[in-house]
Structure 1
Amino acid sequence: MPGLAPAFSDREDAGRQLAEAMQSVQLQDPVVVALPRGGVPVAFEIAQRLGAPLDLLIVRKIGAPGHPEYGIGAVVDCKEPHVVVSEEAARHFRIPPGYLATEREHQLAEIERRHRIYFGEDEPQDHDHAGRDIILVDDGIANGSSIRAGIHALKEMGVGSIWIAVPVAPRDLVESLREEVNDIVCLSAPQHLEAVSAHYADFTETTDQDVVRLLKEARRLNRMIH
């Protein structure tokens, strides 16, 4: 509501609050999987407090024709790149022939670029978590296209279970997502979500350099624990 202070000072604060909320969840040897870039600082805090490894699932939004800020689908990095299109969102826009195929190739190129930056020369199969319990993390969910692409990819991977941990998401979307995964931990679920950024005092963009730094630090700390 107008006039209320943001729920989170920054992504790190959101991650710490989520980690506290996840303490009661009993998972065996989970992997914390972040959607970059904004989900990485949130996931880093959760991974450290749960003593779990941190990995990434690179997802790129497919924007609507003429409205790139409005996601109608997403492409996700995995052995076989996975495309999810929201039929409901797509119905609101006139999709030209070939548009989705062109956007898919454009986003795949960006996924490959980011994969090289974040992981070097390894392959998507190096991030295969078949049979593992997964905590899928983002810094907030607006319409769900990216998180749903991640869910589809993880299910195809054959993971043991999927838990979503997000600071903020629309209430109806939280209930919808709960039917697709084992459970969802969401700290703030307003009836109407105007913008994820409105729930943060500091929503400074997370950079590729931030992602690389946090991945390196997470690996270092995980080696110390194990």
Structure 2
Amino acid sequence: MIFANRSAAGRILAERLAADFGDHANPLVLALPRGGLPVAGPVARRLGGELDIVVARKIGAPDRPEFGVGAIAEDGPPVYDPDNLRWAGVTEHGVAGVLAAEREELRRRIRLYRGDRPAPAPAGRTVIVIDDGLATGVTAHAALRWVREQGPARLVLAVPVCAPQARDALAGEVDAVVCLSAPDPFHAVGRWYEDFEQLTDADVGNFIMC
């Protein structure tokens, strides 16, 4: 399945979730910015839910930043993938410098995206965490771990496209995983979109204000 763009993927995902939850389930829909917001918007509108964000950052291998060995979300502790650490030939101690830099960038983005607004309050609610796709799944893992610590009544991960291994690895973190397409081989999230334009901080602000 190739999606035209993130918003189109969000509309398809919204219909799938409406079939599972009903048209007006009023969930808390938490997007992973930046790419998850255009997907999450149609979902929140279709389900009559509240749209907010959960801010997370990937911890990349020192010599290969695009390869995630772990991640952090909001004020939570880092979450590492032991297999990815092993594959990259690094330890948690070996990425301490990367962690410090990503923690600072995370704080910057929280200040920029949220301003004086409080962090979302998932306690007792059905929460749907949404991203534009899962490759390694490490960033979503950190976000889900943070949300779970807040005590949601039900926690769902929903994405248009995912690597089968990432989907299976995260299944134990949530009550349900909804993934429209799980191609194998996967390669990269952007491969499954015709338009995968990179979003900016300004784009995030525009989505949040809508």
Band the TM-score falls in, shorter-chain normalisation: over 0.9
1:38-70: per-residue Cα shift (whole Å, max 9, x none)?
001100111111111111111100001200010
1:138-185: per-residue Cα shift (whole Å, max 9, x none)?
000001101111111111111111111101011233233223211111
Look up the equivalent residue of 2:41 and give its one-letter code. F
1:33-72 residue pairs with structure 2 within 5 A?
33-72=30-69
Unaligned runs of 5+ in 2: none
Q: How many pairs align?
A: 208
Corresponding residue number in structure 1 for 2:135 = 142
Larger Rg: 1
3-state SS of paired residue (2:88)? coil
User: Among the aligned pairs, what percent are the same residue?
Assistant: 38
3-state SS of paired residue (1:82)? coil
Asked if 1:115 is matched to 2:138, the reply is no
Give the one of 23, 26, 29 matched to 2:18.
23
Look up the equivalent residue of 2:51 and give its one-letter code. L
Q: Report the Cα distance in structure 2 between the residues aligned to 1:111 and 1:180, rounded to whole angstroms.
A: 22
Please report the RMSD computed on the Cα atoms of aligned residues, expressed in angstroms.
1.6
Give the one of 194, 210, 224 matched to 2:187.
194
Runs of 4+ in structure 1 over 3 Å off: 96-99
Look up the equivalent residue of 2:158 and give its one-letter code. A
- Give the Å deviation of 1:123: 4.2
Give TM-score, length-normalised by structure 2.
0.93
Residues 1:97 and 1:159: Cα distance change in structure 2 (over 3 Å): closer
Corresponding residue number in structure 2 for 1:155 = 148
Deviates more, 1:22-31 or 1:46-55: 22-31
Look up the equivalent residue of 2:85 and give its one-letter code. A
3-state SS of paired residue (1:99)? helix
- Give the Å deviation of 1:102: 2.0
Q: Is the 8 A contact 1:29 1:132 kept in 2?
A: no
Q: Is the 8 A contact 2:61 2:95 kept in 1?
A: no
Residues 1:53 and 1:86: Cα distance change in structure 2 (over 3 Å): same
